[in-house]
Structures are given as structure tokens and as C-alpha cells.
């Protein structure tokens, strides 16, 4: 089955052969992988997917790799959790959490995109992979490069959280800390990618890499019994994930795999200190004004998001919306999810929970409609954010009487 049809410019439609290129030579629009959907119809079925492995590769036919996955065989198929306690707290009927904080192997949805990009790098014969990253991508590229026996160069803003730095270095990449914001790191990487023949997963491999995010969307729909939810709230940094979840839904519709019509509204969640996409949505303009990030949600701190325009269009096309969260609301969001569902997400997840809560309170998301909240990263990577907020309740000597006294004191404090 020939499923891939090279690359196509999303703006002008010009075709390109499959190659490690990401920008249309003529209009600079983004290149996208083109599929022969007609060849996939009737071949990719609910049954064929269900017969696949319990990983993102059950959707392999809808991902841009030629052969088998070369790395990351166990990525994806993370839990979709019916969040009853959170729903009660929010006064909603049906809330789900798609939990990529437990994605194997580096605890974020980035494993999905990297598994595709690194497989593709091997298919194209590269010996070095690279990326610009705010942390999660760094972790994942370093890990999958190790697995694929590739060299890796990872570029990060120098002020990144320690957990994300160590969680990268442990896999033995070459880590380059750049004195600058993520946007500056990213611009530098665009120029490096032009000069060195490396597989930059989020630059020249972007058309392939970004397709991996579709698996997050496919899983939501399959796990909901092939019905589409009323609302999906998605954290936005570069803006790719929200567009790819939407694309996943449309592909499943094209292939006739959905139960009923698509009624999903896509909502963007960003930090107030770095929310250029949500600002576009609130001002209803397709012109992105870049910002200088100032937020604790560092994994979302992209002031000049590459897919900002498309993220805006996705919310618009689906009838969705967007919301900002302040740093305080982000922390409250993290604590709310942990307290109600026992899920410890990173700051980005706090943004999403907080934004969802505000959209519900504003009446943008009706309380009687089904809502999926996208949790894409793990809280243990960014403990710094909570350091000052949480403390041990009692410190005692190892004696029963000491505990009795401490317990009495704790009870008197809460009564």
C-alpha cells in the first residue's frame, strides 16, 4: 500500500518529493506530509487499529514513516481518564483527562513527535539529530537518539529548570545552553540547520515530526469509543499540537471511522505571560504579535509560535475559543488536578486545567457537554514551580508520643 505522497505546501499547494525540508521554496509556507487517503480507506479500520500494538504505532498507517518504527516502540496509548472528581469540582457532567504525563519513555507528549522524527532521520540516512527545546523535547530527542545510536545536539535556553537539564544530560547528548529566550534559540537553530546536515526534528524534520502529534488525537477518539467530544482544551506553545489533534479528527472522519458527526470545539490554553495565540483568538485577528515570555510555564514559553496562525484558524474553524492563565492560576490548576484526580502535571498542564476552568466559568464551555483536558507533561520535571507553595506538615522524632502530639496539633489547626 502506497500511503505517502511526498510533501505539499499548506499555503500554495505546491508538491515536493519526500525530503528533509520544511518550507516551501516559493511562498515560505509550511510543508505538510501528503497521504493517499483513497488508498487508506477501507484498509485502515477500527478493527485494524485495534489489532495493532498498545502504543502510538497502532496508527502507523496514518503516520509518515515508510517502514517500521526504529525507536520509541512503546510511546503513546496513554490513559484517557474519566475525571469524576474534577468534574464535580468544576460542576460539569463529563470531564476527561488525556494523560501524557505518563508517556513512555520521557513523560511528555513529545515522545510521540520524536519517535516519528528519529525514525524518519534514520530512513533518510542521517547520523545526527538535533533540536531547539524548552525541555520536554530535549529530554525526548536525547533519549530516542540514544536508543537509535545517533549523535544528538540539543539547544536550550540557559535558564531552563534543572530537572529538564539533568533529564536531558543523562542520555549523553551534546547539550548547548544558549543565553537567550527559546525564540532566540529557535532562530539560531534555523540558521544552524541551514549550515549543518543534521536532522533538526523541529526545523527541517518538522513536517514529519509534527505528524506524530496526531496520535494524541487518534487515541482520544478511539478511547472515547470513536465518538468526538464536545470540547478539547489544548495547551499551546508553538501551536502545532492543537492543529494536529484537529487534523487527526478530520482524518478519522475522512476514513469513515467516527461515530456520528464531528461536533468538537478546539480551545487553546496559554499563560498570560506568554499567550500570543490566545491574544489572536480574543482579538479575532490572524496577525500574530510576538511577545517576550514571562511565565512559570516555561515549556509553553514561545513568544513567536510557528503555528500560531494555524492554531488560531483551528479554534476558529471548530467554533472554539481560548483562555489565558496567570502564574497563580497555573499553580492552582496543578494543585486542583493533583487534589482531585491524583495526577501531577507540569506547569503546562496547570495552564490547561486553569484555562478549562475559566472557559467553563465564563460559559464558553457548557457544563453539560463532554470536555477533554490535554495533560501533556509530568510535574516531577518542574518541582521548582511548587517549591514555595507546599510544605511537610510535621517533623517529629520516631516515637509514638511525638506523633500523637503532632496529630493533635494538626487537628487543632484545621478545626
Partner 1 sequence: MPVLVRIPTPLRTITKGNAEIQAKGDTVDSLVADLERQFPGLKERLLDESGELRRFINIYVNQEDIRFLQAQKTTLKDGDEVSIVPAIAGGR
Which positions touch partner 1 (CB under 8 A)?
11, 22-30, 110, 113, 131-137, 182-184, 186-187, 189-191, 193-194, 200-203, 206, 209-210, 237-238, 240, 289-290, 292, 299-300, 302, 304-307, 309
Give 82 or 197: the residue with its C-beta nearer to partner 1. 197
Q: What separation in angstroms does the CA of 108 have from each of 105, 334, 402?
A: 8, 16, 42
DSSP-derived secondary structure for 82-131: E-HHHHHHHT-SEEEEEEGGG-TTTSBTHHHHHHHHHHHHHHTT-SEEEE
Between 237 and 269, CB nearer to partner 1: 237
Helix 327-341 to helix 347-361 angle, to the nearest 10 degrees?
Answer: 90
Least distance in angstroms from the C-beta of 116 to partner 1: 12
The CB-of-308 to partner 1 minimum distance in angstroms stands at 9
Closest-CA residue to 213 (of 312, 285, 136): 136
Cis peptide upstream of residue 56 (ω within 30 degrees of 0):
no
* Residue 52 beta carbon to partner 1: minimum distance, rounded to whole angstroms: 26
Nearer to partner 1 by C-beta: 1 or 287?
Answer: 287
Cα–Cα distance list, 348 to 56, 78, 299, 404, 411 (Å): 22, 17, 6, 40, 34
Comparison of 325 and 360: residue with beta carbon closer to partner 1: 325
Instruction: List, in order, residues 6 or more apart from 171 with CB less than 8 Å away.
Output: 139, 142, 143, 145, 146, 152
What is the rounded CA–CA span in Å between residue 102 and residue 13?
Answer: 37
Buried b (16+ CB within 10 A) or exposed e, 1-39: eebbeebbbeeeeeeeebebebbbeeeeebbbbbbeeee
Contact 100, 299 (CB under 8 A): no
CB-nearer residue toward partner 1: 32 or 251: 32
Of residues 229 and 276, the one with the C-beta less far from partner 1: 276
Minimum gap (Å) between residue 175 Cβ and partner 1: 16
Instruction: From residue 178, give the alpha-carbon distance in Å to each of 184, 192, 218.
Output: 8, 13, 36
Distance separating alpha carbons of residues 295 and 272, to the nearest angstrom: 7
Give whichever of 61 and 307 is closer to partner 1, judged by the CB atom: 307
Least distance in angstroms from the C-beta of 263 to partner 1 = 29
Nearer to partner 1, 178 or 224 (CB): 178
Nearer to partner 1, 193 or 232 (CB): 193
Closest separation between CB of residue 340 and partner 1, Å? 27
Listed residue (304, 245, 307) closest to 30, CA to CA: 307
CA-based radius of gyration for the chain: 21
> Residue written as cell 495526577?
343
Distances (CA, A) of 386 to 245, 305, 335, 383: 30, 27, 9, 6
CB-wise, 153 or 309, nearer to partner 1?
Answer: 309
Q: How far is the CB of 304 from partner 1 (least distance, A)?
A: 7
CB of 301 to partner 1, least distance (A): 8
Question: What 3-state DSSP class applies to 175?
Answer: strand
Closest distance to partner 1 from the beta carbon of 316 (Å): 16
Provide the 3-class DSSP secondary structure of residue 276: helix
| Least distance (Å) between residue 240 CB and partner 1 | 6
CB of 156 within 8 A of CB of 175? Answer: yes
Amino acid at each position: 500500500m502506497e500511503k505517502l505522497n511526498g510533501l505539499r505546501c499548506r499555503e500554495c499547494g505546491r508538491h515536493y518529493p519526500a525530503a528533509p525540508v520544511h518550507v516551501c521554496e516559493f511562498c515560505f509556507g509550511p510543508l505538510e506530509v501528503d497521504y493517499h487517503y483513497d488508498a487508506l480507506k477501507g484498509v485502515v479500520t477500527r478493527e485494524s487499529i485495534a489489532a495493532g500494538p498498545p502504543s502510538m504505532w497502532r496508527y502507523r498507517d496514518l503516520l509518515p514513516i515508510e517502514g517500521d518504527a526504529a525507536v520509541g516502540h512503546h510511546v503513546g496509548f496513554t490513559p484517557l481518564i474519566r475525571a469524576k472528581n474534577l468534574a464535580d469540582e468544576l460542576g460539569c457532567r463529563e470531564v476527561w483527562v488525556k494523560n501524557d504525563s505518563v508517556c513512555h519513555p520521557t513523560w511528555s507528549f513529545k515522545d510521540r513527535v520524536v519517535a516519528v522524527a528519529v525514525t524518519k532521520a534514520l530512513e533518510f540516512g542521517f547520523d545526527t539529530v538535533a533540536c531547539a527545546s524548552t525541555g520536554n523535547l530535549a529530554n525526548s530527542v536525547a533519549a530516542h537518539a540514544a536508543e537509535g545510536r545517533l549523535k544528538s545536539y540539543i539547544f536550550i535556553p540557559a535558564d531552563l529548570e534543572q530537572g529538564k537539564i539533568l533529564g536531558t544530560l543523562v542520555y549523553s547528548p551534546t547539550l548547548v545552553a544558549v543565553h537567550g529566550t527559546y525564540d532566540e534559540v529557535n532562530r539560531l537553530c534555523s540558521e544552524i540547520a541551514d549550515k549543518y546536515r543534521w536532522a533538526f526534528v523541529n526545523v527541517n524534520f518538522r513536517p514529519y515530526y509534527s505528524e506524530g502529534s496526531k496520535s494524541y488525537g487518534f487515541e482520544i477518539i478511539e478511547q472515547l469509543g470513536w465518538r468526538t467530544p464536545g470540547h478539547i482544551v489544548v495547551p499551546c506553545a508553538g501551536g502545532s499540537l492543537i492543529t494536529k489533534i484537529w487534523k487527526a479528527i478530520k482524518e478519522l472522519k475522512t476514513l469513515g471511522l467516527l461515530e456520528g458527526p464531528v461536533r468538537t470545539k478546539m480551545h487553546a490554553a496559554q499563560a498570560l505571560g506568554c499567550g500570543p495565540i490566545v491574544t489572536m483568538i480574543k482579538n479575532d485577528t490572524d496577525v500574530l504579535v510576538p511577545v517576550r515570555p514571562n511565565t512559570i510555564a516555561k515549556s509553553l514559553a514561545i513568544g513567536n509560535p510557528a503555528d500560531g496562525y494555524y492554531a488560531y484558524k483551528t479554534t476558529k474553524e471548530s467554533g472554539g475559543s481560548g483562555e489565558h492563565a496567570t502564574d497563580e492560576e497555573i499553580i492552582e490548576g496543578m494543585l486542583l488536578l493533583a487534589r482531585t484526580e491524583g495526577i501531577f502535571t507540569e506547569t503546562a498542564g496547570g495552564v490547561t486545567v486553569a484555562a478549562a476552568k475559566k472557559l467553563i466559568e465564563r460559559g464558553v464551555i457548557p457544563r453539560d457537554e463532554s470536555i477533554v483536558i490535554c495533560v501533556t507533561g509530568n510535574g516531577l520535571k518542574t518541582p521548582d514551580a511548587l517549591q514555595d507553595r507546599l510544605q511537610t506538615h510535621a517533623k517529629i522524632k520516631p516515637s509514638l508520643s511525638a506523633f500523637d502530639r503532632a496529630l493533635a496539633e494538626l487537628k487543632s489547626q484545621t478545626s
